[in-house]
Amino acid sequence: MSEIKPGPNNPVHLPDPLPVWATCAPEGDLATPAGYFEAAWSRFLVAQGSTWRRDFLVGGTHVTLEGKGEALAEALTPALAHLAVTDVHVGAPRLIVRTWDSIHGRVDPPPLPALPGDKLAHDRVSRLSDDRFTAVLERHFGALTLLDGASGRGIYYTHDGVTLPYYETAAPMRALWYAWFSRHAALPLHGACVGRGDDVLLLTAPGGNGKSTTALLALQAGFEYLADDWCLIAPRVPAAYSLFSSAKLRPDNLHRFPGLADRIHNHDRLDEEKATFFLHRYFPSQLKSSGRLRALVIPRVGGTADTSFAKVSAAHAFHALMQVTLQGMAGAGKELFPLLGEVARCAPVYQLTLGHDLAQIPPALDAILAHASRA
Amino acid sequence: MPVFKPATPNITHQALDGEVVAIDFDKGIYFNFCGAAGPAFDALISGIPSEQLATLFTGAPADASSKLAAFCQRCVDEGLLMVADSPAVAPPPAPSPVAWVEPSFESYTNMQQLLLADPIHDVGDQAWPKQPGSPA
């Protein structure tokens, strides 16, 4: 794999070697996963900045996010705001995540161990994993995710919380959610999710096939909304869970949604970024945290005015799921193959051919829900 | 009677409602087996000898055996299967027969770049990459 060059998609590099600016206590054996994790976990304590804490119910799991400095709070928490919990009835957290950045916290994680061929220094995304620990280095924007699956502790470190790319603030810490939930028979998937009542549809396809457009048309038509880009699927229930309250649209697609025009979060950067919306601020009653997964829908843009759908095989769904997961999930690989198979088999699958007449699309989603409910 | 096994540990497959999807993670190739090819691949992987494949189908035509033999050979030629040196002493029980549908063998390379990107470095108990100079 060639070395990643700086550029619009790779704005930040982790310094190599990583400087340690703060004074840290003596650390254990960094060459073991447990030793490395404990050292990184402790470095949070010496990071500068005020400590904040937020609690969320993510995929039914009580997650506590502890951070240093407001920059990261502003970057990471808006997309999770619809999952925030304040009641103590949710009990002790099952997952505690510590997060800080070097620029404001003035401390880096320990240097990562070396790999043969110096792969960690050159891959865009690298992942180390065993039965207990996962480490994901997303070099293209300078983030390191660590998970100790046994103790329910995670770490999300980044070089500079202020310069996180918009796609990370819109869907933060995907590598962490993947590492945690794939150990619990659930999978964050690149897909939109909308529904009626308790029943929801997962729309999944590679970019450019109309997922976001379909999801936002459904939102406008009164559907309940879980996701336009990433959601969590638990195939053995089967259920879908909302992960992020954000929606993203290509700027040339905005004219189809005039009601969203004054709700764009990043309106000053549309020359470089997709328009991003945090929907919990504007459609709180339609944001839904979970639902029963009734069908998998594979959208594609058709060449006529009319929208139509047809039932297709689970293998169609599997092919689409493989494509979007490999494209979108940092560090995902063949170990997710069985779980993707479970997702492809967990509900009826439909191909949705989207027509130019957008008014036909929400009724087609209703028709799929009705058809799948009879299946 | 030849018994087959995956040609490498990086061949993996999933049965999906009668179809089978297989991926060769070494070459980044994605395969889809429809019709009789799906149950046939599943049976081969489970250790059923290739000569018995035709018995897994009802309504199979006279040339079913030759078509299934051609499918086996294609799997070997594509690097998916190889003859097992030491097959199990007792073959596994055959699954219930299913209706014959003409086998089809499709392969895709549109995910090759993603499948070969290999960002994964799975490690075992002691296999967290060693720091230079750390004890063995």
| Partner-chain contact A123 B111, CB within 8 Å | no
- For chain B, list residues whose CB is within 8 angstroms of any CB belonging to chain A: 10, 12, 14-17, 19, 21, 23, 25, 30, 32, 34, 108, 110-111, 114-115, 117-125, 127-132, 134
| Partner-chain contact A334 B14, CB within 8 Å | no
Measure CB to CB from residue A333 to each of B21, B119, B129 and give the nearest one: B119
Residues of B within 8 A of A333 (CB-CB) are: 118-120
Nearest to B2 by CA among B36, B64, B63, B53: B53
| Partner-chain contact B128 A114, CB within 8 Å | no
CA distance A264 to chain B (A): 32
Confidence of residue B126 (pLDDT cuts 50, 70, 90): very low
Nearest to A145 by CA among A129, A123, A131: A129
CA distance A135 to chain B (A): 10
Measure CB to CB from residue B111 to each of A115, A323, A333 and give the nearest one: A323
| Partner-chain contact A314 B122, CB within 8 Å | no
- Determine the average pLDDT of the residues in B64-79: 95
Tens digits of pLDDT across chain A (375 residues) = 333 333 333 333 444 444 444 455 667 777 788 888 999 999 999 999 999 999 999 999 999 999 998 889 999 999 999 999 987 566 778 999 999 999 999 998 888 766 555 555 555 667 777 888 988 888 778 899 999 999 999 999 999 999 999 999 999 999 999 999 999 999 999 899 999 999 999 999 988 899 989 999 999 999 999 998 899 999 999 999 999 999 998 888 899 898 888 899 998 889 888 999 999 999 999 999 999 999 999 999 998 999 999 999 999 999 999 888 877 665 556 777 889 999 999 999 999 999 999 999 999 999 999 999 987
- Determine the average pLDDT of the residues in B92-108: 90
Pairs of CB atoms within 8 A across A/B: 104
Task: Say which residues have a Cβ less than 8 Å from residue A245's Cβ, sequence separation at least 6.
Answer: A78, A79, A80, A81, A82, A83, A278, A279, A280, A287
Task: Say which residues have a Cβ less than 8 Å from residue A196's Cβ, sequence separation at least 6.
Answer: A223, A224, A366, A369
What is the torsional sign of CA A254, A258, A259, A265? positive
**Helix/strand/coil for A244:** coil
- What pTM, to 2 d.p., does this model score? 0.86
Task: Say which residues have a Cβ less than 8 Å from residue A138's Cβ, sequence separation at least 6.
Answer: A124, A125, A144, A145, A175, A330
Nearest to A361 by CA among A293, A320, A287, A308: A308
Segment B10-65, tens digit of pLDDT: 898 999 988 999 999 888 899 999 999 999 999 999 999 999 999 999 999 999 99
User: Residue B135 pLDDT more than 50?
Assistant: no
Residues of A within 8 A of B127 (CB-CB) are: 130
State which residue of chain A sits closest to B107, comparing Cα positions: A319
What stretch of H or E contains B122? Answer: strand B120-122
| Partner-chain contact A331 B129, CB within 8 Å | no
CA distance B129 to chain A (A): 6
Q: How far apart are CA A226 and CA A219, in angstroms?
A: 10
| Partner-chain contact B120 A331, CB within 8 Å | yes
CA distance A220 to chain B (A): 34
State which residue of chain B sits closest to A128, comparing Cα positions: B121
pLDDT of residue A173: 95
- Determine the average pLDDT of the residues in B75-103: 86
Q: Is B107 exposed, middle or buried (0-12, 13-18, 19+ CB in 10 A)?
A: middle
Residues of A within 8 A of B17 (CB-CB) are: 313-315, 345
Residues of A within 8 A of B23 (CB-CB) are: 322, 334, 337
Give me the amino acid identity at A223.
F
Q: What are phi and psi of B89, to 5 degrees?
A: -60, -50
CA distance A343 to chain B (A): 10
| Partner-chain contact B130 A113, CB within 8 Å | yes
A121 touches chain B (CB under 8 A): no
